[in-house]
C-alpha cells in the first residue's frame, strides 16, 4: 500500500490503534520498517524500504515554506546551500525525506533525494565547472566593483551568459521582487 499511518494499518489488520502503533514502533526499532520525517498531524508515516518516493503523495501535509522548498529542490535537482535565501535554507533542512545534503570542496549542496546518481553527477559538474574557469581569470578589484554597481535586475536575453551571470540575474530578480 505504501507509506501508512498507524491508524490505517490498525483498521486494515483489525486491531486497536494503540497496539498497531506499538507494533510498528517495534518493527522500526528492529530496522524492519522505515519511518518518515514527514508528519501527518503529529504522526509519522511508516513505510517499507523502497517505498520512499511514494512519500511525495503526502507533500500537501508539509507547511507552506517546506512545500516551496520541496518544489524548488524537485525542479532544480541540485542547489548550492549558499544560493538559497535564509528561509529556504531552514525549510529545505526540514524535509530530509526529499532533500539530502552533502559537501564537496567545502561547498554545501542539497540534492533531490530521488535524483539518479548519473544526473546528480552531471548537474554537479555543471555547477562546479564554470566556477573553476571564472576563478582562474581574475579581474582587477576596480572592475569587479564596477560590474556589481552597474548590474540591473533585468532578465538575461542572450545565450552567451555564463552560469554565474544567470545565477546573479536570478538573485537580482528575487531581490527586486522583495523590494
Whole-structure pTM value: 0.67
What is the mean pLDDT of the segment spanning 7-33?
A: 93
- Check whether 41 has a pLDDT greater than 60: yes
Judge contact between 99 and 112, C-beta under 8 A: yes
- Check whether 129 has a pLDDT greater than 90: no
How many other β-carbons are positioned within 10 Å of the β-carbon of residue 21?
17
Exposed / middle / buried, residue 110 (Cβ in 10 Å: 0-12, 13-18, 19+): buried
- Check whether 14 has a pLDDT greater than 60: yes
Interval 135-147: pLDDT, tens: 443 443 434 333 3
Cβ density class 113-129: b for 16+ within 10 Å, e for less: bebeeeebeebbeebee
Query: What per-residue confidence (pLDDT) applies to 50?
Result: 93
pLDDT confidence of 113, banded at 50, 70, 90?
very high
- Check whether 118 has a pLDDT greater than 60: yes
Amino acid at each position: 500500500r505504501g507509506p501508512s499511518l498507524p491508524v490505517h494499518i490498525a483498521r486494515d489488520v483489525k486491531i486497536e490503534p494503540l497496539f498497531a502503533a506499538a507494533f510498528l514502533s517495534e518493527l522500526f526499532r528492529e530496522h524492519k520498517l522505515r519511518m518518515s520525517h514527514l508528519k501527518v498531524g503529529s504522526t509519522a508515516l511508516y513505510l517499507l524500504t523502497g517505498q520512499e518516493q511514494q512519500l511525495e503523495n503526502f507533500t500537501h501535509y508539509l507547511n507552506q515554506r517546506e512545500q516551496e522548498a520541496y518544489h524548488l529542490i524537485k525542479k532544480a535537482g541540485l542547489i548550492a546551500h549558499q544560493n538559497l535565501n535564509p528561509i529556504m535554507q531552514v525549510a529545505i533542512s526540514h524535509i530530509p525525506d526529499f532533500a539530502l545534503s552533502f559537501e564537496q570542496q567545502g561547498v554545501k549542496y542539497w540534492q533531490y533525494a530521488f535524483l539518479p546518481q548519473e544526473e546528480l553527477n552531471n548537474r554537479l559538474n555543471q555547477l562546479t565547472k564554470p566556477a573553476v574557469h571564472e576563478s582562474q581569470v581574475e579581474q582587477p578589484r576596480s572592475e569587479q566593483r564596477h560590474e556589481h554597481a552597474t548590474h540591473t535586475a533585468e532578465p538575461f536575453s542572450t545565450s552567451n551568459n555564463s552560469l554565474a551571470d544567470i545565477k546573479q540575474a536570478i538573485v537580482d530578480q528575487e531581490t527586486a521582487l522583495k523590494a
